[in-house]
Structure 1
Amino acid sequence: MLLPLIILALSARPPAAATATAMQPSENCLRRCGDVEIPYPFGVGSGCHLETGDWTFVLSCNRSADGRLRVYNYEIEVVDVSVRRGQLRIYSVINPWCYNGSTSAMNGQSNWWYDMSITNFRINDALNRFTVVGCNSLAYILSLNGTAGADRYMTGCMAMCPGVGRLENGSCAGVGCCQTAIPGGLNGYQVSFDEKFNTSAIAGFSRCSYAVLVEASAFDFRASYVTTDEFMVANGGQLPLVLDWAIGNKTCEEAKRNASAYACVSANSECVDSKYGRGRGYLCNCSAGYDGNPYLLDGCQDINECDESRFRYPCSVPGTCINTPGGFTCTCPDKTTGNAYNGTCGDNKSQLGWKIAIGISSGVVILIVTASCVYMIHAKRRMAKIKREHFRQHGGLLLFEEMKSRQGLSFTLFTQEELEQATNRFDERNVIGKGGNGTVYRGTIAKDNGAVVAIKRCRLATERQKKEFGKEMLILSQINHRNIVKLYGCCLEVEVPMLVYKYIPNGTLYRLIHGGGVASARRIPFAARVGIAHQAAEALAYLHSWASPPIIHGDVKTSNILLDEDYTAKVSDFGASTLAPTDAAQFVTFVQGTCGYLDPEYMRTCRLTDKSDVYSFGVVLLELLTCRKALNLEELEEEKYLSSQFLLAVGEDRLGEILDPQIKGEQSMEVLEQVAELAKQCLEISGEKRPSMREVAEELDRLRKLSLHPWGQPNSGELVALLGGSPSIAADSDQIELSTSTRNISFSDTAYIGIRSPR
């Protein structure tokens, strides 16, 4: 029987910190417990482990029947310890929540929690995943770090069962099983289920739900986990979990100043700072060419690379490898010459012919290499000239001079190489969107500490756009509004410029409305929809009224309204934008935009005005009201356009038929009619009759507050039941949040629901 290792935590004082470098474990210390090795700095008993002033390295080998030692009333069993990786694997308890047939109700929750704040352990965020198994099961994981409402982290996911036949072995993508990532640096967490989702209605085929934080590679979903109790029985109620550990709370540089407490005592060892940042400790590794335990005196021993029983023979000629401290050499035997690394060894005479042949070959190679280098230098100079010409054509010189003259301007001119590196040479796997104005890639800028950005490769530009590009980039770079995606910079040394924006993680409003899934628009309360519309309207009003000079977006649609991590609206994609015209000549242009959103007056006159954005925004309002697409080519001719459907329904007094059934059930018809009336005003054929975006934003703000008032919600009781508490919504807030007494729920467009602790 395996005798486990148990992390030891006592109520008494922690062990004293080390006082001398010579403090090493005794030969009598236990170095194996059952089948588990106990490498130093871990140990069992006083004098057998590294003393750092906390409980990180204190272990207990319990040979009793249960084989465990309680830590804060929880049993934490060690599976194995790795000195090389700085990791510890333990067993994580599977949290069940089951229907009780005897009581005809769900059993009470254990709300299992795990706290390692008295140690220097951190839960590995790359190797572990929070996993939920079951049907209609929503579970959360709450961090124990920080103070309530400040540094606390909470997330969760929901496993659904559209049908038992849909369950698929090995697939954990939301049907019967879901997984979500956790942040780095956690040293404790608590698991609980949302009691609004339980198995009481489906106990006939899925009685229990399960939640566990588990090493991802150790979990393999089986369909039988949902319909039977196999998940608990087969795994003994627990699964592996990976922890990272480190020495103390100092960096390598700081630790080396106190030689008596420095843990990297072996010769040929080196110090590595903890990956969790300053103040989170350090680790010790053996230097290259050495292996062993860097925490023991002479613990790092030279690796014999010539040992064929352990390694692949490193030399091409057998019998020529000579081991050296930290490395090896390949040397031909006496009276022979050659290359033992990747050639042959032979006697001196036989090698003479080879030398002549090699000399001739080398001359030919040198000649080819020289010619190639000359060609490459010429091609490189030609390419540099082309880049300089593109930079000049796109107004780069003017932009560069303006940047120098305006101190503090936050705008960067990226090189083509930087953006190719950020996107892995524009790999198709990094594409996050395609549209009429170009393709958008997700990228990581190395020089900005790995900042994640969205990089847009524009389509071919006209001569006018090329001339005005630098000037317009300078104007757009100065836009600073909470509901407009921030432009970081651009690349001008290519034929068609590339733009670099802040990356917005939660996709588009189009995907939220029409993408389906658990968090589709049909799950979003009406007040939240009006809130998103109000934020987008504020952004467009800012562009029209406060930007200097004013800016017309030119392609307003739900796919150009992004949602950040808090589901705040961010207007994006200025590919069709233009500066507000200052004379009649500037009105003449070619029509561009998206069918279904285009202003009829703009298509007829080729004059793009701020009222063109108002018309397009009116279509966005219709999508939020109806959950229908702006253009549906499968419909009859008169019903292809959502705007036509809407105006026809309003004219025939059939507004209720076209509205989304969900919002009709949660809002008074009076409020819905006022929003519909605002949309109708935006869709006026004549631009002069349409309201300005400032007027639209002010009206939406009024309707937003009205929709949140109790008398505007006929079935507010159902909304309270959905949220699990009494909803309190700040009417003066710039951001709509549906708040309960315990948490805020934001609506995701994937198969999980993200949970944040209240501010």
Structure 2
Amino acid sequence: MATTALLLLIVLHLLVATAAAQRKLPVARPGCRDRCGNITVPYPFGIGAGCYRVEAGAKSLRFELEWFPLYRVTSCTGIGCCQSEIPSGIGFFEPTIRDFPRGQEGFSFYANSTPCRYVFLVDKEWFSYTDSVFLNRTDDFDVPVVLDWAIRNVGNCSAARQNTTDFACRGAHSKCFSVTNGLGYRCNCSQGYDGNPYLEVLDGGCTDINECQLKGDYPCYGVCNNTQGGYTCQCHPGTSGDATRKDGCRPKDKFTLALKVVTGVSVGVFLSVFMCFWLYLGLQKRKLIKAKQSFFEHNGGVILQQQMRSYSGTAGGGGGGFKIFSEEELEKATNNFSADQILGRGGHGIVYKGVLEDKAVVAIKKSKVMEATETKEFAREMLILSQINHRNVVKLHGCCLEVEVPMLVYEYVSNGTLYHYIHGGEGLDNNKALDPRLRIAAESAEALSYMHSSASPPILHGDVKTANILLDDNLTAKVTDFGASKLAPNDEVEIATLVQGTCGYLDPEYLMTCQLTDKSDVYSFGVVLLELLTGKKPIRFDGPEEGRSLVSGFMIAAKVGGHYELLDNQVRNEMRPEALEEITHLMMRCVSMSGEERPSMKEVAERLEALRRYQRHPWGQAGAGDPEEGQSLLGREQQRDVNYKFKPQDVLDLEEASTYTFSL
């Protein structure tokens, strides 16, 4: 029974295995039978003459299963798991198997453990033992067997290719493989091709496989395109991914890889540049903060803050008091110092109109330069100037110290400067009568007198001129630009101070001594008074050299009695001779070359106010009133002759000192 079962198993599976080895090949040569019963016989095997390759190898196969009284066994012993490989490279192999009787000594356990009695040849690549498959089976079952064969008339492929006529691998896509089990070779179709590698292409040899038609073996869930030896499988348009897998294609991301790379690089570069720029701005900001702090300390900001705290209510930052502004506040107030906000330009700087956060309108002076010596007392001067509260002095609201040259914030005066009042448009005309001129002169003198005599300590202006006298809508005079002001020295020894005055107004004695005194302001005011009454500029650059200076020209004219002709028509027509002589006398004293001979600003203010009262009094009108009463109003005794002695230094390059008599 065992012998019969094994024999049938071997014969059946040997033939099946032969077909299985070439299961996809066209089987026979053209004109030859390819089947024997239900067994397919492929070439180089064949049925009938001319249908097989004669040199195929072994001429016969013999399988025998007999009982031999042999007890020698190999390592193949056991229950159900016994297997032994057929050695390679042999010409003949005869396996022998034996069933031990149940009563055999030493084998009773094995014999009684299972009723199975079967043995089979099987492909070792297929065989994998499990109890559930092979243990206690009593039915018939099939297992695959592979016939290991080769063309063995030569040793290997290299030797076979030397004889192209007898070379078994036919066609361009039939590849030769040397066998490892002894000598010989076999043929297979190249990857992507199918057919019988031993036949020509036209006879059914290796041809291209259309993988797109074999979706079971070559799955493609997209667009399949067959190629020679292969195929391509791509996702449908608008999708991307792996089309060989089900659900492997996804809607295509419009953000392509290239775009992602470019975007990533761009973002990286942008972030790097941004970080560098941010760090740069941070460093610049720190540098700016340090610079502002340095300027603030250098300009006396710390000292000023300490002094402001000591003044609690009067010098605080709120109300109408003094305030230290930041640069940002002033930039915002002037629209970043826009040219549209400029009120005026001067040799010392530019004045801007600004609107603070509390809607207060101010004038902001942005100076160009400041002497190093000025910064030492700047804080003290600013605080003292901020305490001045006089109707004819422009109020100093504050300053900005965190810049190289401090900026000053003044009250805004809306009607321009006295310079423009005199010289703007058509100059002085009939609408600019005498009384407003006298009032402007008196108010300006009063402001300077207050600074010299009433302020503590006294304050010197240093740059008195018509451009620094502002007028409001009522033509009220307000003296400004005390940024160049100096505190008068406390001791009796005058300290030399450098002031950037204005040509035509600058004290000639100061030019020789470099000492600024209160009499320097008196001289400059004398020029302003002369300019106000003549309507002429203090310096002109045409005409004879001796007449280019208004002061010099007036003195020269006075020498020959022609100085009245230089006065404005309104002044000559409206002023009484006494008042005209008085104001002429006052102007000449103010512009004296010697400071000792000049009156004080207090005296000047008093004389101008007396002249104004006299001129406004009914007796002071031209041709009216009692002369003695007029002299009383002028504040001095009646004199028939007023003698004024000119010295050589008074009239620069005139003749020796002479005495001129003005008759009333």
Distance 1:521 1:459, change over 3 A: farther
Equivalent residue, structure 2, for 1:699: 607
Question: SS of the residue aligned with 2:265?
Answer: helix
- Equivalent residue, structure 2, for 1:588: 496
What SS does the aligned partner of 1:575 have?
Answer: helix
Counterpart for residue 454 of structure 1: 363
Residue of structure 1 equivalent to 2:293: 388
Separation of aligned partners in 2, 1:373 and 1:468: 39
Please point out which of 376, 389, 400 is paired with 2:305: 400
Aligned 1:498-517 pairs, distance under 5 A: 498-517=407-426
Deviation at 1:667, TM superposition (A): 2.5
Query: Out of 494, 497, 512, which is 1:604 matched to?
Result: 512
Residues 1:571 and 2:479 aligned together: yes
RMSD over aligned Cα, in angstroms? 2.2
Pairwise CA distance, 1:639? 0.6
CA distance in 2, matches of 1:350, 1:435: 65
Match of 2:323 in 1: 412
- Name the TM-score, length of structure 1 as normaliser: 0.47
5 Å matches for 1:360-759? 360-408=265-313, 409=315, 410-445=321-356, 447-448=357-358, 450-517=359-426, 520=428, 522-583=430-491, 587-590=495-498, 592-714=500-622
Q: Please give the residue correspondences for 1:241-252 in structure 2 after superposition, counting only pairs within 5 Å.
A: none
Q: Is the 8 A contact 2:341 2:353 kept in 1?
A: yes
Contact preservation (8 Å) 2:436, 2:475: no
More deviation, 666-675/387-396: 666-675
Aligned to 1:37: none
Deviations, residues 40-85 of structure 1 (Å, cap 9, x unaligned):
xxxxxxxxxxxxxxxxxxxxxxxxxxxxxxxxxxxxxxxxxxxxxx
The amino acid of 1:421's aligned partner reads K
Give how far 1:521 is off: 5.0
CA distance, structure 1, for counterparts of residue 570 and residue 301 of structure 2: 51
CA distance in 2, matches of 1:618, 1:396: 36
Deviation per residue, 1:138-183 (Å, 9 max, x gap): xxxxxxxxxxxxxxxxxxxxxxxxxxxxxxxxxxxxxxxxxxxxxx
Larger RCO: Structure 1 or Structure 2 (Cα < 8 Å, ≥ 6 residues apart)?
Answer: 1
Cα distance, 1:356 vs structure 2: 4.4
Q: What amino acid maps onto 1:672 in structure 2? A: L
Aligned counterparts of 2:566 and 2:555: Cα–Cα separation in 1: 10
- In structure 2, distance between residues paired with 1:615 and 1:495: 32
CA contact (8 A) 1:454 1:500 kept: yes
Greater share of strand: 1
Amino acid at match of 1:455: I
Q: AA paired with 1:431?
A: I
Secondary structure of 2:516 counterpart: coil
What do the CA deviations read for 1:267-322 (whole angstroms, capped 9, x no partner)? xxxxxxxxxxxxxxxxxxxxxxxxxxxxxxxxxxxxxxxxxxxxxxxxxxxxxxxx
* Distance apart, 1:650 and its partner CA: 2.1
Three-state SS of the structure 2 residue aligned to 1:351 is coil
Task: State the Cα distance separating 1:647 from its structure 2 match.
Answer: 1.7
Could you tell me which amino acid in structure 1 is paired with residue 374 of structure 2?
A: Q
Report the residue type matching 1:630 in the other structure.
P
Q: Which structure's CA Rg is the greater one?
A: 2
Q: Deviations over 1:8-40 (max 9, x none)?
A: xxxxxxxxxxxxxxxxxxxxxxxxxxxxxxxxx
Distance in structure 2 (CA, Å) of the matches to 1:362 and 1:688: 78
1 CA distance for matches of 2:475 and 2:563?
29
**2:312 aligns to what SS in structure 1?**
coil
Q: What SS does structure 1 have at the residue aligned with 2:398?
A: strand
Contact 1:521 1:627 in 2 (8 A): no
Partner of 1:256: none
Asked whether the equivalents of residues 411 and 488 of structure 1 are also in contact (C-alpha less than 8 Å), the reply is yes
Matched residues in 2 for 1:394 and 1:591: separation?
Answer: 18
Pick from 348, 352, 357: which aligns with 2:262? 357
Report the Cα offset of residue 655 of structure 1.
3.0
- State which drifts further: 408-417 or 587-596: 587-596
Instruction: Select the structure that is richer in helix.
Output: 2
Other structure's SS at 1:672 match: helix
C-alpha separation in 1, matches of 2:290 and 2:494: 33
Give how far 1:694 is off. 0.6
Change (3 A) 1:636 1:368: same
Give SS of 2:394's match: coil
Give yes or no for contact 1:591–1:602 (8 Å, CA) kept in 2. no
Distance 2:584 2:270 in 1: 77
Residue 620 (structure 1) shift: 1.0
Q: Report the TM-score when normalising by structure 2.
A: 0.54
The amino acid that maps onto 1:350 is K
Quickly say closer, same or farther: Cα 1:522–1:614, change in 2 above 3 A.
Answer: farther
Note the C-alpha offset of 1:584: 6.7
Matching residue's letter, 2:620: G
* Alpha-carbon distance in structure 2 between the residues aligned to 1:662 and 1:586: 42
C-alpha separation in 2, matches of 1:380 and 1:502: 32
The superposition leaves residues 107-165 of structure 1 with CA deviations (integer Å, 9 ceiling, x where unpaired) of: xxxxxxxxxxxxxxxxxxxxxxxxxxxxxxxxxxxxxxxxxxxxxxxxxxxxxxxxxxx
Q: Which amino acid aligns with 2:276?
A: A
Query: CA–CA distance in 2 between the matches of 1:663 and 1:685?
Result: 25
Q: Which amino acid aligns with 1:637?
A: E
- C-alpha distance in structure 2 between counterparts of 1:522 and 1:426, whole Å: 38
Distance 2:431 2:353 in 1: 28
**1:350 aligns to what SS in structure 2?**
coil
> What amino acid does structure 2 have at the position aligned with 1:349?
D
Percent identical among aligned pairs is 52
Please tell me the residue identity of whatever aligns with 2:580. L
The alpha carbon displacement at 1:480 in A equals 0.8
C-alpha separation in 1, matches of 2:453 and 2:293: 36
Tell me the alpha carbon deviations over residues 184-217 of structure 1, each in whole angstroms, 9 at most, x when there is no partner: xxxxxxxxxxxxxxxxxxxxxxxxxxxxxxxxxx
Count of equivalent residues: 371
Could you say what secondary structure the match of 2:484 adopts? Answer: coil
Contact 1:514 1:521 in 2 (8 A): no
SS in 1 for 2:554: helix
